[in-house]
Structure 1
Amino acid sequence: MKELATRTLTGAVYVALVLGAAWLGPRTTALLFLPVALIAAWEWHLLYWKGSDDAPPIGLTIVLSLVVYVAACLEISLRMTNGTITLSVIAGTLLLLTFLLLRSGSTDPGKVFTGHLGTVIYATMPMAIAAALVQVDHRLFIGFMVLLWTNDTGAYLVGKLLGRNKLMPTVSPGKTWEGFVGGVLLTALVGWAISASTDVLSLRFWLVAATVVALAGTIGDLLESALKRAAGVKDSGRILPGHGGILDRFDGYLLAAPVMLLMVAFAMGG
């Protein structure tokens, strides 16, 4: 009971912070997600390199993640849509990594490069998308997060009540096909409700977004589960009481956020 209360309180604070930041605007959202991005990068680094003697300095990982995140947020603030700043910074980051790898004498440079790339591109970049969606319309971001949360909750509850057939037992034994389908259907229903309560985009958009966000969120969850299983750990961290780490809370978000941004850009014709 105490663990449930802790989990509920942490979840309530998390939801309040995310929704409050979105309501206040893209700058507040960018500031809120900055430490989230850096902690996610930290956790990814520790999971990826757990048990390895070839791990690069974690400080380098954090600095690179910070630079890329700030570049993305600067581009959002300047209302640039062609990705010039962010792509230039990423290209510079890749050149720097290549130079450092050539000098390091690493026994597995491919793994080092992939580790940095995963940290910067997968664990860090999507965090800046929160501010990008808020910049377009804060209701888009709030709607997206509600869809993501609905899928998580729906899949969990339906899986607990009706789950029989394992979705991917070697990666995440607790997930079932029944929970997956239930999560998608409930998310689609909430997508319909969002469309009925706002004039931002069409019913078709929100129904498609609900389905795609549910799919992407589930895949993101499974990817993080696979990384944790490979590292031999249950949680990515302990910073969120009752929830584990940042990656445990944002696993689905990391893959669903870029997909949502692409759908919004397509729907708005830019």
Structure 2
Amino acid sequence: MSLKHPSNLAQRVIVAVPGIPLLLWLTWSGGVAFLGLVVLLAVLATGEFHHLARRKAEVLPPGYLMAFTALFQANLFFGFTTSLVLFLLLFMVLVVREVFQEAGSRILNIGASLAVVAYVNISFGSLLLIRLNDLMGVHLVFLMLVCVWAADIAAYFAGRALGGRFFRKKFFERLSPRKTWEGYLAGVVSSVLAAIVFAFADPGLDMVMAAVTGIGIGALGPLGDLVESMFKRDAGVKDSSALIPGHGGVLDRFDSLMFVSPLVYLLMLFFYITPS
């Protein structure tokens, strides 16, 4: 999420002062504590995404989708191999539901419900699977947080100070008029530098791979914000919710982290963890 409203900066800081240490502590603790955090955020994000989707389609009631999310995340945590089965069961429920209702488009109704649970659960599910890895999990989640925060802060201040000075066109004006190329590039550079500094302080991380991860996070993180902006514009709302004072909702606050989590999970599988 980009820092879009300067007038709310003080409010954001007030929320972040207790919020960041709590987030770091739960990440460090891992186990059931981290599962509880992920389930809470994923369930809230599902409710927010449902709020957006229902403006365009007759989505399955939020309670069902939120229960599915909680069950899906618990399924990943306990290592059950039924994730695909859960999605198939949900799809069957949605199809049968459309047989008996007349409102809306059948394709849009089914697609919107699936989009809600797929986007949220793949994102937060990847984050959970990263942390569950005993070898690299805690190192990578901390690395992700540091890089996302560094990129976010740098993009905000560089965009305000340098926006439009070097590039005549905005970064993606159709979806996010305030984003600039100067801010985007500053975010990428800051993400890489933050990754290198963090790897220097954390012997559990290889500096070269951390830098590569920092590039990926810095480059793709802003796309998470653009994707969420796309959904909000389509739904005609400003924020996904007003849950977090000064920040909006869970989707607003964690959009970048959600978007880069699958990437970091794949990097962990193919580059950080070598077969024994």
CA contact (8 A) 2:77 2:128 kept: yes
The reply on whether 1:21 has 2:26 as its aligned counterpart is yes
TM-score (norm 1): 0.90
1:215 and 2:219 aligned: yes
Question: Given the alignment of the two structures, is residue 258 of structure 1 paired with residue 262 of structure 2, yes or no?
Answer: yes
Aligned runs of 1:146-157 on 2, under 5 Å?
A: 146-157=146-157
Name the counterpart of 1:9: 14
1:138-186 Cα shifts (integer Å, max 9, x gaps): 1221111111111111111111110114111110001001100010011
State the alpha-carbon separation in 2 of the partners of residues 227 and 122 from structure 1. Answer: 12
Question: Matches of residues 47-58 of structure 1 in structure 2 within 5 Å?
Answer: 47-50=52-55, 52=56, 54-58=58-62
Query: How far apart are the structure 2 equivalents of 1:201 and 1:123?
Result: 28
Question: Are residues 1:44 and 2:54 paired?
Answer: no
CA-CA distance at 1:53 after TM superposition? 6.6
In structure 1, runs of 5+ residues without a counterpart are: none
Matched, 1:91 2:95: no
Identity %: 27
Q: Is the 8 A contact 2:53 2:116 kept in 1?
A: no
Corresponding position: 1:124 with 2:121: yes
Q: Which amino acid aligns with 1:31?
A: G
Q: Tell me the secondary structure at the aligned position of residue 6 of structure 1.
A: helix
Write the distance in 2 (CA, Å) between the matches of 1:65 and 1:147: 27
1:244 matched to 2:241? The reply is: no
Could you list the structure 1 runs, at least 4 aligned residues long, displaced by more than 4 angstroms after superposition.
none
Residue 248 of structure 1 aligns with an amino acid whose one-letter code is D
Q: Which structure 2 residue ranges, 5 or more long, are not aligned?
A: 1-5
* Contact 2:12 2:245 survives alignment (8 Å): yes
RMSD, aligned α-carbons:
1.9
Q: Of the candidates 193, 210, 213, which is equivalent to residue 206 of structure 1?
A: 210
Give me the TM-score of the superposition, normalised by structure 2: 0.88
Q: Does 1:161 align with 2:165?
A: no
Task: Write the distance in 2 (CA, Å) between the matches of 1:213 and 1:30.
Answer: 23
Q: 1:230, 1:219 → 2: CA distance?
A: 16
For 2:106, the equivalent position in structure 1 comes to: 109
Larger mean CA deviation between 220-229 and 116-125 belongs to 116-125
SS state at 1:258 partner: helix
Query: Which residue of structure 2 lines up, in the alignment, with residue 142 of structure 1?
Result: 142
Aligned to 2:194: 190
